[in-house]
Structure 1
Amino acid sequence: MNIFIIDYNQDDPKKCTGKKLIRLGLAKLTRTEKGIVLNPYSNITLSIDDKEIALRNGITAIDASWNIISQNSLAKRNNHRRLPILFAGNPTHYAIAYKLSTLEALAASLYILDEVKEAIKLLNTIKWGHTFLELNRELLESYRGKKEKEILEIEKEILDKILREPTNNPASVHRGNLT
C-alpha cells in the first residue's frame, strides 16, 4: 500500500516519524492529498470500508503539530478519516489518547484495514513501536476489519468506561491529535 506524507515542517526533525518513513523509503513526500487522508478533525472514522480506496490510491498522513493547525485550516473532503481512540506509545505523549505520532497513526490505519504485516513493519522502524502495539493490541484487534458503525460502538464503550473510572486509567483523553 502506498503511504504519503504531507510535511508541514513543524516538528523536531530528529523526532519526526514521518520524515523517518520517507528516509527509509516506506513513504513518499507529497504536497497533495492522495487516497485516504488521516485528519483528526474528520467526522468520519477509518474503517474496512476504506480499504479499497487505500489500496488503489494510498493513505496520506499530514505531519504537523496539531497544536498549531486549526480545525478550519484543513479542507474536509470525502476521503478524510479520523482514527478511533488509541493510546500513544511514543515517549513524548506516552499513554495519551489520540496523541499519536505520524508513524503510529499510519500503522494503526494499516492495522484497522487488516494490513497487519505492513503495520508491524512500520512499527519495527522505531524502538518504541512495540510499546504502541502492546498498549493498543486489544483495541486494534477489535477495530480490525470492522465497519465504521461497529468501530464507533467499540469506541463509545471505551470512552464511557474511561469516563466512569477516570482514576483507574493512566491515560488522558485529548481528541484531535495525530502527530
Structure 2
Amino acid sequence: MKIYIIDYHKDDPKKCTGKKLIRLGYAKPTNKGIGIVLDPFSETVVGIEDSEILIKQGLTAVDTSWNNTTINEFKSTGFHRRLPILFAGNPTNYALAYRLSTLEAISATLYILEHIELSFSILNTVKWGKTFYELNKDILESYKGKKRDEIMKIENEIIDKIRGA
C-alpha cells in the first residue's frame, strides 16, 4: 500500500504524526497529491468505491496544523476525499469531531476501505492509537466497506444524535 505525506512544516515536529509515519517507513514524502487525497474541505466522502484508487495509486495526507489550515493547502492533483465524522484520540484535539491527526486520518481511511491490519499497525505507532480506536470503534465499524451514500447517511444520523434531534 502506497501512502504519501505532503508536509507543510507548520506542525510541531515532536507531535507531527506524518513525519513519524515517514520515519517508520509507512509513508513517503511528496509535494503533490497522489491517488486519494485526504482533504477536509472536499464535499466527497471516502467510500468503498475508492478502493481501486487506493490499491492502484495510493493515499496522500496533507500534514499541517489545524490552527493554520487553509483550503489552498489542499489544492493538488488526485481524488480529493474527506472523512466522515470521527473523534480525535490524540492529546491535542482529544474527542473533537473532524480534528484528526494525519496518522488518525490515514488509519481511519484504511479501516473504512477494509485494510484493517495496516490501519491497526499505523495506530499502534502512537501511545494514544488505542484511544482513537476505542472512541470510534462503533462508528468505524458502521462505515467499514460502505458506499459513499451509506456513509453520509450514517454520518448525518450521528450528527443528528449529537444535536439531540
Tell me the TM-score range normalised by the shorter chain. over 0.9
Q: TM-score of the superposition, structure 1-length normalised?
A: 0.89
Q: How does 1:14-163 map to 2 (within 5 A)?
A: 14-75=14-75, 79-163=79-163
Alignment CA distance shift 1:160-1:76 (3 Å): farther
Find the residue that maps to 1:61 and give its secondary structure: strand
Q: TM-score of the superposition, structure 2-length normalised?
A: 0.96
Among the aligned pairs, what percent are the same residue? 59
Q: Separation in 2 of the partners of 1:46 and 1:90?
A: 22
Q: Deviations over 1:89-110 (max 9, x none)?
A: 0001100000000000000000
Confirm or deny: 8 A CA contact 1:87 1:97 kept in the other structure.
yes
Alignment CA distance shift 1:121-1:88 (3 Å): same
Confirm or deny: 8 A CA contact 1:5 1:27 kept in the other structure.
yes
Aligned residue number for residue 13 of structure 1: 13
Q: Could you list the structure 1 runs, at least 4 aligned residues long, displaced by more than 6 angstroms after superposition.
A: none
Q: Separation in 2 of the partners of 1:123 and 1:155?
A: 22
The letter for the 1-side match of 2:18 is: G
Task: Give how far 1:119 is off.
Answer: 0.2
Q: Deviations over 1:150-177 (max 9, x none)?
A: 0000000000010117xxxxxxxxxxxx
Q: CA RMSD in A?
A: 1.3
Question: How many aligned residue pairs are there?
Answer: 165
